[in-house]
């Protein structure tokens, strides 16, 4: 069976893979996330970030399946990053209260062969 790597420090993503009963190893990709679209749509931004995480993690492991993902919260043209702490999370939620926010996300995985990547759109 192929070894599975989760290129994320996200507790939620870890929990999701655990719910599916997958055995995996968490590795930090070290990739810097872009938070500005710069001529990209929000969907392209999260795709870019997920791919960057997968490729960075791919340089650290020879073979196996690498799963990387990115999600952002968008209100109009404003992107909300990860909250710094509980107070920041509360402030963000208060601003988003009674609004419709978009949450584009993408998953990106490397297959069993190094360099063989596949994009999987989720949401």
Q: What CA–CA distance (Å, rounded) separates 60 from 16?
A: 23
Tell me which residues are annotated as active site: 70
How many C-beta atoms surround the C-beta of residue 34 within 10 A? 16
Token readout for 63 is 């073979």
Q: Indicate the DSSP class of residue 36.
A: S
Residues sharing a CB contact under 8 Å with residue 23, sequence separation 6 or more, in sequence order: 4
Q: What CA–CA distance (Å, rounded) separates 38 from 33?
A: 13
């Amino acid at each position: 069976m192929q070894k599975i790597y989760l290129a994320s420090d996200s507790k939620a993503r870890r929990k999701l893979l655990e719910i599916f009963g997958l055995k995996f190893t968490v590795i930090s990709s070290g990739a810097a996330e872009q938070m500005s679209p710069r001529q990209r749509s929000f969907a392209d931004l999260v795709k870019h970030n997920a791919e960057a995480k997968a490729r960075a993690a791919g340089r650290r492991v020879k073979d196996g399946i690498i799963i990387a993902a990115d999600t952002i919260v968008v209100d109009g043209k404003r992107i909300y990053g990860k909250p710094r702490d509980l107070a920041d999370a509360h402030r963000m939620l208060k601003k988003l209260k009674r609004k419709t926010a978009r949450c584009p996300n993408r998953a990106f995985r490397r297959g069993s062969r190094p360099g063989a990547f596949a994009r999987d759109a989720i949401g």
